[in-house]
Amino acid sequence: MQSTLLIAFLGTIINLYNPSIKNDSVKIEQIFMEQKLKRDYDSLLLSYYVKSAMEDTSKTIGDTLFVSDITIDSTALPKLDINDSVIMRQMAEMPVLFDVSYNPIVKSFIEVYSHRKRELTSTVLGLSEYYFPIFEKELDAANLPMELKYLAVIESALNPRAVSRAGATGLWQFMYATGRYMGLEISSFVDERRDVVLSTKAAIKYLTQLHSIYNDWTLALAAYNCGPGNVNKAIRRSGGSTNYWEIYYRLPKETRNYVPGFIAAMYVMEHHNDFNITAKEISMPALTDTILIHKQLHLEQVSTILNLPLSQLRDLNPQYRRDILPATSKIAYPLRLPFEYATRFIDLQDSIYGYKDSIFFNPETLAATPVRGSQYGAPPTKNHTALNYTVAYGDNLGFIANWFNVSINDIREWNNIYKNVIRAGQKLLIYVPKSKYNYYNELNSLDFAAKQKRVGISTTNSPKTPIPNYPDDDKYIFYTLKRGDTLWDVAKKYEGVSDRDLLKINGLVSGKDLKPGQQIRIKRLE
């Protein structure tokens, strides 16, 4: 219901600016898909291998690569000419075990992958040369359809460190509870939802369970996204139909995007040459080797002694949240290395384990080590630095974004915030210009009115309904409203006073127009 209302609301807003879209739910859902793809792509560009592949065709600012610098302007692209009959024939000839129906919804997502987000498709095609063989090996061992490998494309854009706004993580986007249910370790040091092989095995196990429920791969995919409970509910509300397209509008919005997006991604990647899309050359190592580690190890120890870029090691071992393998003599953890470095590691392991071990594994150092991958964003430029802002009572993302001169979306991405939910006492990571760090850090010690005053907003403006001028002001107490106060809250503070009394005494029709900083009268007790 909330998703339906959101789409309706978004449709109203879009109509104000682009009447041509009107109430086309397909176009509106396409916009949602494009927003998700852009977020996935922004995150993917921080990968060592993707960043290296982009160096010749895009610019970097500091250590951060910006999607705005490399995304092709869709207005500059040649007009996309989608021949429906050709696509229908090609889909009919695809040797797949899915219902690959072609309709306006699927067509809209084909247009996204092949035209508007073709740069993303090119990057994912390059990454697929590394990831797909891993997926195919596991799918073949489980006797599952090979085309399920495309599921990771729409889930994460083949980014093992992808994190959704709801907290789903990794290539296959497992939520915490589902990941634990499927046997994946999720601890302070390790998140196996990011482990390429283990998460793939878990996804295959989960998909097998879902297929056993519905005996239909399309419904299994829908259930993978929104859970079997939501699929079962949609089936009941559709009179028992088990045809995906007949229950389509009874599924959550995200799931309505999901299966068409899967079909479109599968089709475009199989026929990318028809759209003049080529795989970007991404030099992921063709061969890797895995070494079992039986002693705690920091990736920086390996990076320094073997002269391997730390970012490269992180890409090969994304499951280690703090760059630490918490191995013991009884519990081993895998370290993945480019094949040619495996023997060097064995030869130099004493030097590797001994390098700054007293520093890397000092309890104080460990406590201060940030969790890698817990945030979406990176500094906007090398001239920015991180600042921690403590949320005060009455704050919201709109106020905070205004005070720090950043966007709400920036704050969400930097802090992995779902929707707009924050709480008093929460610490938010904000990137601010280094030259203004002290200026912005002062916000932690200012009250609400002072913060608003900084951005030119007065909290002492006269209310819409003026307070009447009583001649006997000595009979009244003056109370200054704080953020979040209601008349009922104020009345509780004073004996014998009700919210109705406050309305009457202050000449107010209702409490809707109250503002922080506004003064109201409270009659003194005789």
Q: Can you give the three-state secondary structure of 144-181, one letter per residue? A: CCHHHHHHHHHHHCCCCCCECCCCCECCCCECHHHHHH
SS (H, E, C) 62-120: CCEECHHHHCCCHHHCCCCCCCHHHHHHHHHCCCCCCCCCCCHHHHHHHHHHHHHCHHH
Residue 155 is among the residues annotated as catalytic for this protein: yes
What does the DSSP assignment read for 391-420? PPTT--HHHHHHHHT--HHHHHHHHT--TT
Tell me which residue has tokens 């959550």: 252
Residues with Cβ within 8 Å of 31's Cβ and at least 6 positions away in sequence, in order, are 10, 14
Q: Which residues pair with 337 in a beta bridge?
A: 289
What are the structure tokens assigned to 221, written together?
Answer: 């995919």
Residue with tokens 């008349």: 487
C-alpha angle 381/387/393, rounded to 5°?
Answer: 135
Which letter, b or e, does each residue of 383-400 get, where b requires 16 or more Cβ atoms within 10 Å of its Cβ? ebeebebebbeebebebb
Which one is catalytic: 29, 147, 155, 192? 155
Phi, psi of 27 (to 5 degrees): -65, -40
CA angle (147, 151, 157) in 5-degree steps = 125
Q: Are 168 and 175 contacting, i.e. CB atoms less than 8 angstroms apart?
A: yes
SS3 364: helix
H helical segments located in 355-479: 357-360, 363-368, 397-404, 408-415, 437-441, 448-454
- Which residue type is seen at 230? N
Residues 6 or more apart in contact with residue 216 via CB below 8 angstroms: 242, 244
Type of residue found at 320 = Y
Spatial neighbors of 397 by CB under 8 A, at least 6 apart, are: 408, 411, 412, 417, 420, 422
Angle of helix 408-415 versus helix 397-404 axis, rounded to 10: 100
Scan for tokens 């393998």, then name that residue.
Answer: 325
Cα dist from 207 to 154, 191, 264, 265, whole Å: 15, 20, 20, 19
Enzyme catalytic residues? 155
